[in-house]
Amino acid sequence: MTGRAVEIDHISKSFGPTDIWRDVTMTLPAGEVSVLLGPSGTGKSVLLKALIGLLKPESGRITVAGTDLVHCSEHELYRARRLFGVMFQDGALFGSMNLYDNIAFPLREHTRKSEHEIRNNVLERLAMVGLSGAEDRLPGEVSGGMRKRASLARALVLDPEIILCDEPDSGLDPVRTAYLSQLLIDINTQIDATILVVTHNINIARTVPDNLGMLFRKRLVMFGPREVLLTSHEHVVRQFLHGDRSGPIGMSEEKDTEAETESLTSSGDTAGDDEVRDQIPAQLEPSPGLPRRAAKRRHLRTVAREFGSLPAAARQALSHIMSEEDRRQLEMEAVD
């Protein structure tokens, strides 16, 4: 079963007089992996909380399986939340429970499964995230990477169709981050869930998602196929992806209005399309032994259908992935 699409339509959120973000519109395609980037303090985690109804936007709609999570009843919200699994930034594990009981907790709280069924489910999820044999250990007795994987296992036990990951790389070294990135691709391959990862890690953004977006200064700068954002000449996007000090992103959120407007509209250092294209690494593939990832095929069908309307640099990058013959075949599949 393919994960659910999440339709976000013109939502805005503020805390008192402070706007967090305004008029955010995007769709997380069903069963695909999406990543949302942005500097610290841009409201990425706030957006995740809005998606599961923990915070209410002042306006707009968030639609999942026909339910508007912004305006629905508490009962409807409870039912919709069952579609989600959340991997929290700090893991949010109970320190006094071993990993087994942490992962079993949602099943005991929200289902009537027997302990035998719970055990089978928990052990299966532990194996899925590479933690078989660690079920009796406490969170304080394992590494940060293992706690992250345990948190992911707990997010999976209720068989969610949508998985939200809040900065899963936080506190991890580059090697463990690489393992976790591969794990997210493998999970998507095995259960075909819709996955949204919020992060400011550029390596994750460049190698994991089918779709990529960026929040900056209270707005969604862009969201779409990974290749479009990675080849974008928009100044704020290029500055963030390259870690450059020159541009609209500063050490402080304070910035002269005129300078901000100029830097946001400037195209910056316009490298040639070939140079930008060559900087795009290959997307991660499922680990050996796993099948081909169905989400990637669906994503490429969508991209093939919209190929002619994409920016030139993105088309060149995608040409390395899809031959013209592949593109025609994918377009035919999209029509069917």
Tokens of 249: 């992103």
* 156 pLDDT above the threshold of 80: yes
Point out which residues pair with 87 in neighbouring strands.
165
Is the residue at 260 inside a domain? no
| Confidence bin at 265 (pLDDT 50/70/90) | very low
Q: What is the pLDDT of residue 171?
A: 85
Which range among 66-70, 83-87, 237-241 shows the weakest confidence by mean pLDDT?
237-241
| Confidence bin at 68 (pLDDT 50/70/90) | very high
Quote the domain boundaries for residue 220: 6-14+27-228
User: Which segment, 34-43, 186-195, 265-274, 300-309, is predicted with the most confidence on average?
Assistant: 186-195
More confident: 112 or 250: 112
CB 267 within 8 A of CB 165: no
Is the residue at 68 inside a domain? yes
Closest CA to 58 of 11, 104, 6: 11
Tens-digit pLDDT profile for residues 126-135 = 999 999 999 9
Is the residue at 178 inside a domain? yes
Phi and psi based region of residue 199 (left: phi greater than 0; alpha: psi -120 to 50; beta: remaining): beta
Is the residue at 331 inside a domain? no
Tell me the percentage of the chain whose pLDDT exceeds 70.
89
Is the residue at 275 inside a domain? no
Q: What is the pLDDT of residue 42?
A: 86
| Confidence bin at 334 (pLDDT 50/70/90) | low
| Confidence bin at 253 (pLDDT 50/70/90) | low
Is the residue at 173 inside a domain? yes
Q: How many structural domains does the chain have? A: 1
Span 87-97, average pLDDT: 84
Closest CA to 24 of 247, 238, 257, 217: 217
Tell me which H or E stretch contains 140.
Answer: none
Is the residue at 96 inside a domain? yes
Tens-digit pLDDT profile for residues 201-238 = 999 999 999 999 999 988 999 999 999 999 998 888 88
* 186 pLDDT above the threshold of 80: yes
Tens-digit pLDDT profile for residues 280-329 = 788 999 999 999 999 999 999 888 888 889 898 888 888 877 777 677 77
* pTM score: 0.89
First-to-last CA distance in the chain? 19
Rounded to an integer, what distance in angstroms lies between the CA atom of residue 218 and that of residue 24? 9
CB 116 within 8 A of CB 127: no
Which range among 75-79, 99-103, 154-158, 273-277 shows the weakest confidence by mean pLDDT?
273-277
Domain at 69, CATH number: 3.40.50.300
Q: What is the pLDDT of residue 257?
A: 42
> How many CB atoms within 10 Å of residue 65?
12
More confident: 105 or 92: 105
Which range among 153-157, 218-222, 261-265, 286-290 shows the weakest confidence by mean pLDDT?
261-265
Mean pLDDT for the chain overall = 87
Torsion sign (Cα): 220, 62, 9, 334: positive
| Confidence bin at 267 (pLDDT 50/70/90) | very low
* 102 pLDDT above the threshold of 50: yes
Q: What is the pLDDT of residue 336?
A: 59
